Amino acid sequence: MTTPGLRERKKQATREALREAALRLAVERGPDRVRVEDIAEAAGVSPRTYNNYFASREQAIVSAVTADREERIAAAVAARPSGVRLADAVTDAVVEQYTNTGEREHKALLLITTQTALRDAFLDATAGIEPPLAAVIAERLGDAGAHTARVLAASVAAAVRIALEGWLRPTEDADAAGSFAAGGLVVPSGSLADQLRAALAPLAPAFDAAERRTQP
Amino acid sequence: MTTPGLRERKKQATREALREAALRLAVERGPDRVRVEDIAEAAGVSPRTYNNYFASREQAIVSAVTADREERIAAAVAARPSGVRLADAVTDAVVEQYTNTGEREHKALLLITTQTALRDAFLDATAGIEPPLAAVIAERLGDAGAHTARVLAASVAAAVRIALEGWLRPTEDADAAGSFAAGGLVVPSGSLADQLRAALAPLAPAFDAAERRTQP
DNA sequence: CAGGAAAAATGCGTGCGCGCAAGTTTGCGT
DNA sequence: ACGCAAACTTGCGCGCACGCATTTTTCCTG
C-alpha cells in the first residue's frame, strides 16, 4: 500500500486531468459550451473512458471543487480529541472543511451558481460524505451503535445539503418562497458557516443521546 | 378547488395511465424489455409527452407503487392528537404508511427488487416525503422552528432511505458487507416495520428537544 | 524475464432526457 | 357566444449514459 502501483497512480492522474480540464473549459467558454468530447480530448482520453470516471458531465466540473472533501471531513472529526462532544466535533469539522476554501475553489463556486444543473450536481455531491462520516462516528459509538452512526451520518449529510441550498440562492424571486413560509421570519441567508451551524444544531440532541448510550 | 377543472383532471388521468401502463408492461415482459415508446403508446400519448410527466423511465414504474405516499404520511402525522410525542407521531405515521400495503403493491415491489435501476429510483423517491413532512412538523413547532422542521424532515427521509436500503437486500454477497462492519453484529434484516423504527429511533431525541423548545 | 491473467481503455450501437419551436386544447373575460 | 391568452402536447434534433465486445496496458508468478 506504500506504493499504490503504477496502475492506480495513472488512474488518479487521469481523474485529475479530467477534473481540471472540465473546470478549465467550463470557465473559458460557458459551462454548456463544453461537451464531454471536448473534456475527453483535453485530457487525452476517449469519450467513452470519460464516463468510466464520471457518471454525468456535471460531476467532473463539480468534483474539481468537491475533490475529496468527504475524507477530509472524516479525518477532521477523527482528529478532535475524544473528550469533546461528538456533536461539536462533527459540526466544527464540517464548518471547517466547507469554509477553509481556496481562491480557485471560490471562483469555481461562482461558476456553479450560474447553472442549475451544476448546482444540483454540487448538492448531490454532499451525499458522499455519509459513508466516511458514518465510519468515524461508528468508531466513537462502538460497534453496538453502528446502525445509529449510519443514521446520524445521513442526517448530517441532509442537514448540510439544506444549508448549502439555503446559501447558494441569493438570486431568488421573493414570491417564489411564499408557498408555506409566509409566516414571516425566513433566515436572511447569513454566512455559510452560520447556515451550516444552524442546520446542524437541531441534530445535536440526537448525537448527545447516542453518545450517552455508550458512555454513561 | 371543488372541481379542479377539466385541464387538471385530464392531466392526472394521463399521469395515472402512464403509471399503470408502465407497471403493467414491466410485469408482463422484463423491466428492461420495455421502452418509453412502448409505455407512451400504451397510454395513448407521444413519447415526448411521457417525460413531461416523468424525468426517467424508472420513475413511472416506481410511481405506480409510491403513488402519493408523501401526502399520506403528512396527513397521518397531522391526524395524530397533538398530545403525543412528535417523534412517536412521525414514526408511527411512517411505519403505518409503509406497511399498510396492498397486494398489487407488494408484487410490484418484488419486481423492483430485481432491477438495480428500479431500486435506486425507488430509494430516491423517499426524498419526496421531505417537503410535506417539513410542513406538518413546522405546524407543530410553530413558525420559529420552521428551519428546524426542515432539517428534521430531511433527517427522517434519510433514515427511511437507510431502512429501505437495509430491507430490500436479502440477496447480498456476505463478503461485500465486510468493508468496515466486520465487527460482528449486523442487523439480520428484520421486518420492514422493525427496520423503520430502528432507523428513526436515533432521531427521537432531536424531535424531543425541538418540541421542548417551543412548549416548555 | 517471459507469459498469462486481470484490469482498464476504446469503438460501437441503442435508447433516453431535454431544449426549442411549432401546433392544439382549455379556460376566462367581455 | 366569441376570441384571446395560457397551458399542454407534439415533432425534431442533439448530446449523453451505458452495455457489450475488443484491444491495450499493467501486474504477478514461476
Examine the domain organization and report whether B92 and B165 are in the same domain. yes
pLDDT at B188: 58
Examine the domain organization and report whether B102 and B10 are in the same domain. no
Contact status of A155 with chain B (Cβ, < 8 Å): yes
Which whole number is the average pLDDT over A106-122? 92
Distances (CA, A) of B132 to A3, A184, B31, B200: 51, 19, 30, 18
Amino acid whose CA is nearest the C1' of C19: B48
Protein CA at B5 to nucleotide C1' at C30, angstroms: 21
pLDDT tens digits, one per residue of B160-177: 999 999 998 765 444 444
Q: What percent of chain B has pLDDT over 90?
A: 73
Examine the domain organization and report whether A154 and A80 are in the same domain. yes
pLDDT tens digits, one per residue of A51-102: 999 999 999 999 999 888 999 999 999 999 988 999 999 999 999 999 988 8
Q: Is the Cβ–Cβ distance between A60 and A34 less than 8 Å?
A: no
Q: Which residues make Cβ contacts (< 8 Å) with residue A107, sequence separation at least 6?
A: A27
Residue A135 CA, chain-centre distance (Å), reads 16
CATH code of the domain covering residue A45: 1.10.10.60
Q: How far apart are the first and last CA of chain A?
A: 39
Question: Domain ends where: A23, A47, A64?
Answer: A64
Which whole number is the average pLDDT over B44-72? 94
Question: Domain ends where: B34, B64, B94?
Answer: B64
| Three-state secondary structure call for residue B120 | helix
Q: Do A202 and B187 touch (CB under 8 A)?
A: no
Q: Rounded CA gap, B44 and B40, in Å?
A: 6
Protein CA at A21 to nucleotide C1' at D6, angstroms: 44
pLDDT at B106: 86
Give yes or no for residue B122 having a pLDDT over 80. yes
Protein CA at B32 to nucleotide C1' at D19, angstroms: 12
Which whole number is the average pLDDT over B122-134? 96
Q: Do B146 and A186 touch (CB under 8 A)?
A: yes
Give yes or no for residue A177 having a pLDDT over 60. no
Mean pLDDT, chain B, rounded, equals 88
Examine the domain organization and report whether B79 and B54 are in the same domain. no
Give yes or no for residue B82 having a pLDDT over 90. no
Examine the domain organization and report whether B76 and B55 are in the same domain. no
Give yes or no for residue A176 having a pLDDT over 60. no
pLDDT at A170: 60
pLDDT at B67: 82
Q: Do A155 and B159 touch (CB under 8 A)?
A: yes
Give yes or no for residue A1 having a pLDDT over 50. no
pLDDT at A185: 46
CA distance B44 to chain A (A): 31
Mean pLDDT, chain A, rounded, equals 88
Q: Do A135 and B186 touch (CB under 8 A)?
A: no
CATH code of the domain covering residue B205: 1.10.357
Of the pLDDT bands very low, low, confident and very high (cuts 50, 70, 90), residue A35 is very high
Chain B residues in contact with A203 (beta carbon < 8 A): 151, 155, 206
User: How many beta-carbon pairs below 8 A join chains A and B?
Assistant: 87
Q: Do A154 and B151 touch (CB under 8 A)?
A: no
pLDDT at B165: 94
Residue A184 CA, chain-centre distance (Å), reads 30
Examine the domain organization and report whether B57 and B164 are in the same domain. no
Protein CA at A47 to nucleotide C1' at D21, angstroms: 17
Of the pLDDT bands very low, low, confident and very high (cuts 50, 70, 90), residue B6 is low
Examine the domain organization and report whether B83 and B60 are in the same domain. no
Grid cell locating B201: 429511533
pLDDT at B1: 47
Residue type at position B105: E
A7 touches strand D (CB under 7 A): yes
Alpha-helical segments (H) within chain B: 5-28, 36-42, 47-53, 57-66, 69-79, 86-99, 103-114, 116-125, 130-141, 146-167, 192-200, 204-214
pLDDT at A194: 94
Of the pLDDT bands very low, low, confident and very high (cuts 50, 70, 90), residue B8 is confident
Closest CA relative to residue B61, chosen from B8, B107, B12: B107
Residue of A137, A196, A203, A212 to mutate, testing the B interface (most B Cβ within 10 Å of its Cβ): A203
pLDDT tens digits, one per residue of A118-146: 999 999 999 999 999 999 999 999 888 99
Examine the domain organization and report whether B44 and B104 are in the same domain. no
Which whole number is the average pLDDT over B66-71? 88
Number of domains making up chain B: 2
Give yes or no for residue A175 having a pLDDT over 70. no
pLDDT tens digits, one per residue of B182-202: 344 455 567 999 999 999 999
Chain B residues in contact with A147 (beta carbon < 8 A): 187, 198-199
Q: B20: exposed, middle or buried (C-beta count within 10 Å: 0-12, 13-18, 19+)?
A: middle
Of the pLDDT bands very low, low, confident and very high (cuts 50, 70, 90), residue B43 is very high
| Three-state secondary structure call for residue B162 | helix
CA distance B158 to chain A (A): 6
Domain interval for residue A150:
68-214
Of the pLDDT bands very low, low, confident and very high (cuts 50, 70, 90), residue B144 is confident
Which whole number is the average pLDDT over A209-213? 93
Examine the domain organization and report whether A199 and A109 are in the same domain. yes
Examine the domain organization and report whether A15 and A30 are in the same domain. yes
Examine the domain organization and report whether A29 and A122 are in the same domain. no
Give yes or no for residue B68 having a pLDDT over 90. no
Closest CA relative to residue B62, chosen from B101, B14, B120: B120
Examine the domain organization and report whether B21 and B35 are in the same domain. yes
User: B1 or A57, which is more confident?
Assistant: A57
Q: Is the Cβ–Cβ distance between A193 and A95 less than 8 Å?
A: yes
